[in-house]
């Protein structure tokens, strides 16, 4: 990104981040911004400044007035980062080590200091406790509110409008035959027309359903646009990018948290094909970021803050699914860039606290933590691995197709006028969804309710259409114990299968255009719904095949007449995992989430087989999951750790400047004046400058960041007498001798990085890329026999990789 230019006499163009900077809003998620000013020709990442210990560099002023040393007198703003730039992981970790060393030294001197040291060590666990409590409480509130508003589309409770359908009927003292129809709950047709039967009542309920869907979606998109543009979408692509070290101010701020919480309820309740699970990760990370401001060591250190955000991602999945262990694995496998063992323990603790909080509030009203509790009575058989692998293939194909179609649609949204009218787009999709969803009972119900219905194992008294089997004619077909023998399908089941087939097509198509709109939208539930429908259809087919052809070779020996051989709900569960794995490329964490989600511990092998097959099939069409694809679409500077660098290029092939470019802009250690430095900064938009001994020798001394340079010069002009444009700028311990009437020099050695990372010009790029990934570098200087040749930034690497993959290198928008 271009940094603001410097103007003599002040640095008002620069922005100093404060503790409240996370509330600044810049709409990067949409297509409304003009990125034409981000071409960043020889890009140098803007940067941070390490508050070095006095042992690394020290200096004493000896002029007629006191010389301001940025090392001895920390200047506000030095060491901070510009928006849309990457942090320096090495510097931040070094800063934290220095802080630890200082605390350890002080703790030996007094009891009070020792207690403060213990408090500092405990602060991380206290922060995790607060994050777990806050995220668990918010998630419970979201669950309760979403359930209530979803039911409001169908009717209202007469005893209290704030009760959802289920709670309303629980409190009823009257007897009623149908579990879904109690006297206290009335549909809108009953309230308005006085009857629930007939064509007019159906049309009235239809219109009210569409009205509420449009109202909820309008409120959601309006609130997002007006107050928090960052509250839209899933949030996981941006969370991954932030955890890799990128700065997006405002993305995890309090306004984003408030608006995302409210609009997530509205978006889910509107009936759009989206889930709340992905956005709950964003909500949990917002909680963590806000709570970090209570603790100095997390507020002032970006790397430490990202450790907390990694734990918060685990908390998000823990409260979304009631899966604390799966949440920790999700954070480790899917979103975290840097995940030390300490973060693993704290993630586990935070997920535990969040799950306990959710369980205490009991938003589902069933005294269970899991979202879809299942209780299958029949074991699975080895022969069924074939259908499970088929579901894995379907999930992989669906995932690959969905990613390509959704990215194509999002690209259309970004590059055409469609992106300029997000409110109209959301209303149009909501109207289309409501119009097509209402006639089909399986698309009318919420995604979570649908999945729960599909996972259900039929009992003898189950009134669901999916359990519309013909009743057994003799007692030998009733099964053994709690299990129910396989039975022939009846007319209600055939009707349900047709409706499910139509629901499958509808869900597959509508999710493509819904994910990525300007409302909070998760992908977990829609993907699981697609897989669960496909799995239930296949499961019923296998069940009927086993019933009518139990003498076939594949069924002989384990499926006898009157036995409970096939469990369609298990196929739905496996299909849900396969489709979610195909879209996100999750593996280990997905399997753990699924068995925590359902309680089906003995079905790990089918889940593993389907998930692994799904990943292999989807990877055959492209290695990127949906989140990585959206990161690339938005141009974020994210070096994917899973992606291999397979080209034989060298550092000299990627570095800037190229042969046809102007020479690299550098500072000399003691040969430039303040005016010359200001002119160089004013006429370039680089984010930092290498410091060399002289223009002739080009021997490298260090590296200084543009932001630190601007702030230090401006501060010196205000606080140090005699600093004028003719004053020498020196990056050494001692300035060379000057004439008696010369103005005092400006010493800036304290803001210089004395040990910048360097590689030689013949270093293979695969090694260079590994260095960038593993150390979290933003730039690396290229030398030849100690002489400076050029520089490589993370953006240069991403552009080079895009070029090698025949993609547009200018799609990388940020540095």
Task: Determine, yes or no, domain membership for 111.
Answer: no
Pairing of strands 155-157, 746-747: unpaired
Confidence of residue 74 (pLDDT cuts 50, 70, 90): low
687 lies in the same domain as 754: yes
Q: Taking the CA atoms of 476, 482, 486 and 487 in sequence, report the sign of the dihedral they define.
A: positive
Pairing of strands 787-793, 779-784: antiparallel
* Residues linked to residue 278 through DSSP beta bridges, in sequence order: none
Domain that holds residue 138: 130-361
Cα(89)–Cα(639) distance, rounded to whole angstroms?
Answer: 14
Phi, psi dihedrals of residue 411, rounded to the nearest 5°: -65, -40
Question: Could you tell me if 652 and 788 are in contact, meaning their C-beta atoms sit under 8 angstroms apart?
Answer: no
DSSP state of 472: P
Task: For residue 359, give every residue at least 6 positions away whose Cβ sits within 8 Å of its Cβ, in sequence order, or none.
Answer: 322, 369
Q: Report the candidate in 681, 675, 677, 672 with the shortest Cα–Cα distance to residue 725.
A: 675
Question: Could you tell me if 350 and 319 are in contact, meaning their C-beta atoms sit under 8 angstroms apart?
Answer: no
* Residues linked to residue 185 through DSSP beta bridges, in sequence order: 157
Question: Could you tell me if 784 and 775 are in contact, meaning their C-beta atoms sit under 8 angstroms apart?
Answer: no
Is the per-residue pLDDT at 44 higher than 60? no
Cα(730)–Cα(63) distance, rounded to whole angstroms?
Answer: 14
662 lies in the same domain as 699: yes
Give the pLDDT confidence score for residue 36 in this predicted structure. 36
Cα(23)–Cα(253) distance, rounded to whole angstroms?
Answer: 5
Is the per-residue pLDDT at 27 higher than 50? no
Cα(61)–Cα(788) distance, rounded to whole angstroms?
Answer: 30
Task: Determine, yes or no, domain membership for 755.
Answer: yes
518 lies in the same domain as 391: yes
Give per-residue pLDDT as tens, 115-132.
988 988 899 999 999 999
Give per-residue pLDDT as tens, 443-487.
999 888 899 889 888 776 667 788 877 776 554 444 444 456 667
The better pLDDT of the pair 432, 746 is held by 432
Tokens 């590059």 correspond to: 415
Give per-residue pLDDT as tens, 319-368.
988 889 999 999 999 888 888 888 999 999 999 999 999 888 877 766 66
Task: For residue 103, give every residue at least 6 positions away whose Cβ sits within 8 Å of its Cβ, in sequence order, or none.
Answer: 113, 116, 117, 120
**Residues shown for the chain:** 815
288 lies in the same domain as 220: yes
Task: Determine, yes or no, domain membership for 810.
Answer: no
Q: Taking the CA atoms of 243, 248, 254 and 255 in sequence, report the sign of the dihedral they define.
A: negative
* Residues linked to residue 764 through DSSP beta bridges, in sequence order: 650
Task: Determine, yes or no, domain membership for 29.
Answer: no
Task: Determine, yes or no, domain membership for 413.
Answer: yes
Averaged over 129-151, what is the pLDDT? Answer: 93
Tokens 């960052």 correspond to: 230
352 lies in the same domain as 402: no
* Residues linked to residue 186 through DSSP beta bridges, in sequence order: 156
Confidence of residue 783 (pLDDT cuts 50, 70, 90): very high
Confidence of residue 815 (pLDDT cuts 50, 70, 90): low
346 lies in the same domain as 427: no
CATH number at residue 153: 1.10.3080.10
Question: Could you tell me if 744 and 64 are in contact, meaning their C-beta atoms sit under 8 angstroms apart?
Answer: yes
CATH number at residue 734: 3.10.580.20
- Gyration radius of the chain over CA positions: 31
307 lies in the same domain as 210: yes
Give the pLDDT confidence score for residue 473 in this predicted structure. 59
Give per-residue pLDDT as tens, 197-216.
888 889 999 999 999 999 99
Element (H, E) at 726: none
Is the per-residue pLDDT at 20 higher than 50? no
- Domain boundary, last residue among 599, 634, 669: 634
Cα(104)–Cα(96) distance, rounded to whole angstroms?
Answer: 12
Question: Could you tell me if 324 and 351 are in contact, meaning their C-beta atoms sit under 8 angstroms apart?
Answer: yes
Question: Could you tell me if 169 and 185 are in contact, meaning their C-beta atoms sit under 8 angstroms apart?
Answer: yes
Picking from 13-22, 131-140, 531-540, 637-646, which range would have the lowest pLDDT averaged per residue? 13-22
CA quadruple 253, 258, 264, 266: dihedral, nearest 10:
-150
Give the pLDDT confidence score for residue 728 in this predicted structure. 86
Residue 398, CB half-sphere, CA atoms under 13 Å: how many? 36
28: its two tokens: 């990067």
Task: For residue 23, give every residue at least 6 positions away whose Cβ sits within 8 Å of its Cβ, in sequence order, or none.
Answer: 250, 253, 254, 255
Averaged over 242-270, what is the pLDDT? Answer: 93
The better pLDDT of the pair 223, 682 is held by 223
Question: Could you tell me if 1 and 10 are in contact, meaning their C-beta atoms sit under 8 angstroms apart?
Answer: no
Averaged over 89-98, what is the pLDDT? Answer: 86
Task: For residue 261, give every residue at least 6 positions away whose Cβ sits within 8 Å of its Cβ, in sequence order, or none.
Answer: 138, 141, 142, 283
Within its chain, how far is the Cα of 331 from the centroid? 10
Cα(461)–Cα(422) distance, rounded to whole angstroms?
Answer: 47
735 lies in the same domain as 686: yes
Picking from 173-177, 286-290, 489-493, which range would have the lowest pLDDT averaged per residue? 173-177
B/e letters for 181-206, b = 16+ CB within 10 Å, e = fewer, are ebebbbbbbbeebeebeeeebeebbb
663 lies in the same domain as 614: no
Averaged over 99-114, what is the pLDDT? Answer: 88
Task: Determine, yes or no, domain membership for 259.
Answer: yes
235: its two tokens: 């949030």
Is the per-residue pLDDT at 281 higher than 60? yes
Is the per-residue pLDDT at 47 higher than 70? no
Give the pLDDT confidence score for residue 179 in this predicted structure. 57
DSSP state of 511: H
Question: Secondary structure of 137-188 in the HEC alphabet?
Answer: HHHHHHHHHHHHHHHHCCEEECCCCCCCHHHHHHCCCCCCCCCCCCCCEEEH
Averaged over 51-55, what is the pLDDT? Answer: 34
Confidence of residue 741 (pLDDT cuts 50, 70, 90): confident
Averaged over 589-600, what is the pLDDT? Answer: 85
SS3 call for 128: helix
330 lies in the same domain as 205: yes
* Residue ranges with strand state E in 660-770: 667-668, 672-673, 688-692, 700-705, 728-730, 746-747, 758-760
Within its chain, how far is the Cα of 776 from the centroid? 19
Cα(450)–Cα(536) distance, rounded to whole angstroms?
Answer: 11
Whole-number percent of the chain with pLDDT over 70: 86
DSSP state of 384: G
- Domain boundary, last residue among 602, 634, 666: 634
Question: Could you tell me if 673 and 726 are in contact, meaning their C-beta atoms sit under 8 angstroms apart?
Answer: yes
Phi, psi dihedrals of residue 156, rounded to the nearest 5°: -145, 155
Give per-residue pLDDT as tens, 671-724.
888 889 988 988 888 888 999 998 888 899 899 988 888 888 888 888 877 788
289 lies in the same domain as 416: no
Q: Report the candidate in 124, 596, 66 with the shortest Cα–Cα distance to residue 330.
A: 596
Task: For residue 503, give every residue at least 6 positions away whose Cβ sits within 8 Å of its Cβ, in sequence order, or none.
Answer: 440, 442, 443, 450, 533
Cα(48)–Cα(74) distance, rounded to whole angstroms?
Answer: 13
Q: What is the pTM of this model?
A: 0.85
Task: Determine, yes or no, domain membership for 161.
Answer: yes
Q: Report the candidate in 80, 124, 159 with the shortest Cα–Cα distance to residue 312.
A: 124
CA quadruple 719, 725, 726, 727: dihedral, nearest 10:
30
372: its two tokens: 């879809």
Number of domains in the chain: 3
- The answer to whether the peptide bond before residue 461 is cis (omega within 30 degrees of 0) is no
DSSP state of 481: T
The better pLDDT of the pair 156, 70 is held by 156
- The answer to whether the peptide bond before residue 585 is cis (omega within 30 degrees of 0) is no
Task: Determine, yes or no, domain membership for 714.
Answer: yes
Give the pLDDT confidence score for residue 31 in this predicted structure. 36
391 lies in the same domain as 348: no
Give the pLDDT confidence score for residue 670 in this predicted structure. 83
Picking from 550-559, 595-604, 606-615, 662-671, which range would have the lowest pLDDT averaged per residue? 550-559
């Amino acid at each position: 990104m271009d940094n603001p230019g410097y103007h003599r006499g002040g640095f008002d163009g620069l922005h100093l981040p404060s503790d409240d900077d996370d509330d600044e809003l810049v709409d990067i998620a949409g297509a409304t911004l003009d990125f034409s000013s981000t071409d960043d020709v020889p890009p140098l990442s803007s940067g941070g400044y390490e508050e070095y210990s006095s042992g690394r560099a020290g200096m004493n002023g000896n002029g007629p007035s006191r010389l301001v040393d940025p090392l001895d007198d920390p200047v506000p703003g030095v060491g901070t980062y510009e928006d849309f730039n990457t942090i320096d992981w090495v510097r931040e970790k070094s800063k934290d080590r220095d802080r630890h060393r200082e605390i350890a030294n002080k703790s030996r001197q007094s009891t009070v200091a020792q207690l403060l040291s213990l408090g500092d060590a405990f602060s991380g666990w206290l922060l995790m406790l607060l994050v777990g409590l806050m995220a668990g409480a918010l998630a419970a509130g979201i669950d309760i509110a979403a359930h209530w508003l979803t039911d409001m589309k169908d009717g209202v409770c007469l005893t209290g409008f704030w009760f959802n359908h289920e709670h309303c009927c629980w409190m009823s003292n009257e007897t009623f035959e149908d579990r879904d129809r109690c006297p206290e709950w009335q549909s809108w047709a009953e309230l308005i027309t006085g009857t629930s039967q007939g064509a007019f009542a159906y049309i009235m309920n239809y219109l009210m359903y569409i009205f509420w869907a449009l109202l909820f979606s309008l409120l959601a998109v309006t609130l997002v646009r007006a107050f928090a543009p960052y509250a839209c979408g899933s949030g996981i692509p941006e969370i991954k990018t932030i955890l890799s070290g990128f700065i997006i101010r405002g993305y995890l701020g309090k306004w984003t948290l408030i608006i995302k919480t409210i609009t997530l309820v509205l978006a889910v309740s509107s009936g759009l094909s989206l889930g709340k699970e992905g956005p709950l990760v964003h909500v949990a990370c917002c909680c963590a970021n806000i709570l970090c401001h209570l603790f100095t060591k997390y507020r002032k250190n970006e790397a430490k803050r990202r450790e907390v955000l990694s734990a918060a991602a685990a908390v998000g999945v823990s409260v979304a699914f009631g899966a604390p262990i799966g949440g920790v694995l999700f954070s480790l496998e899917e979103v975290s860039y840097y995940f030390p063992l300490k973060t693993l323990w704290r993630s586990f603790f935070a997920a535990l606290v969040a799950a306990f909080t959710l369980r205490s509030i009991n938003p589902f009203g069933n005294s269970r933590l899991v979202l879809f509790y299942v209780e299958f009575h029949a074991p699975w058989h080895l022969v069924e691995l074939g259908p499970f692998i088929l579901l894995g293939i379907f999930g992989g194909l669906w995932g690959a197709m969905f990613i390509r179609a959704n990215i194509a649609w999002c690209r259309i949204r970004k590059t055409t006028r469609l992106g300029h009218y997000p409110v109209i787009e959301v209303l149009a999709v909501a109207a289309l969804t409501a119009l097509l969803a209402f006639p089909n009972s399986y698309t009318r119900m919420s995604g979570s309710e649908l999945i729960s219905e599909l996972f259900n194992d039929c009992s003898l008294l189950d009134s669901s259409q999916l359990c519309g089997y013909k009743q057994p004619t003799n007692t030998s077909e009733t099964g053994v114990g709690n299990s129910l023998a396989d039975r022939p399908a009846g007319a209600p089941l055939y009707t349900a299968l047709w409706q499910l087939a139509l629901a499958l097509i509808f869900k597959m198509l509508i999710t493509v255009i819904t994910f990525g709109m300007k409302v909070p939208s998760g992908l977990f539930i829609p993907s699981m719904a697609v897989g669960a429908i496909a799995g239930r259809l296949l499961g019923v087919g296998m069940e009927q095949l086993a019933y009518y052809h139990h003498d076939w070779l594949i069924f002989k020996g384990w499926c006898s007449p009157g036995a409970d051989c096939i469990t369609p709900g298990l196929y739905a569960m496996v299909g849900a995992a396969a489709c979610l794995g195909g879209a996100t490329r999750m593996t280990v964490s997905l399997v753990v989430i699924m068995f925590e989600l359902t309680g089906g511990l003995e079905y790990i092998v089918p889940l593993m087989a389907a998930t692994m097959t799904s990943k292999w099939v989807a990877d055959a069409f492209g290695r990127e999951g949906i989140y990585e694809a959206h990161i690339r679409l938005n141009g974020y500077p994210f070096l994917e750790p899973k992606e291999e660098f397979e080209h034989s290029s060298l550092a000299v092939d990627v570095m800037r400047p190229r042969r046809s470019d102007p020479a690299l802009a550098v500072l000399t250690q003691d040969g430039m004046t303040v005016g010359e430095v200001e002119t160089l900064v004013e006429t370039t938009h680089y984010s930092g400058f290498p410091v060399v001994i002289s223009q002739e020798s080009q021997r490298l001394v260090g590296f200084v960041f543009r932001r630190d340079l601007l702030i230090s010069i401006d501060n010196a002009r205000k606080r140090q007498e005699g600093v004028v444009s003719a004053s020498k700028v020196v990056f050494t311990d001692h300035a060379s001798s000057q004439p008696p009437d010369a103005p005092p020099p400006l010493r800036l050695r304290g803001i210089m990085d004395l040990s910048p990372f360097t590689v030689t010009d013949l270093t293979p790029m695969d090694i260079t890329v590994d260095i960038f990934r593993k150390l979290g570098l933003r730039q690396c200087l290229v030398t030849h026999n100690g002489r400076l040749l050029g520089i490589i930034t993370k953006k240069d690497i991403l552009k080079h990789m895009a070029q090698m993959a025949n993609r547009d290198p200018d799609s990388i928008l940020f540095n």
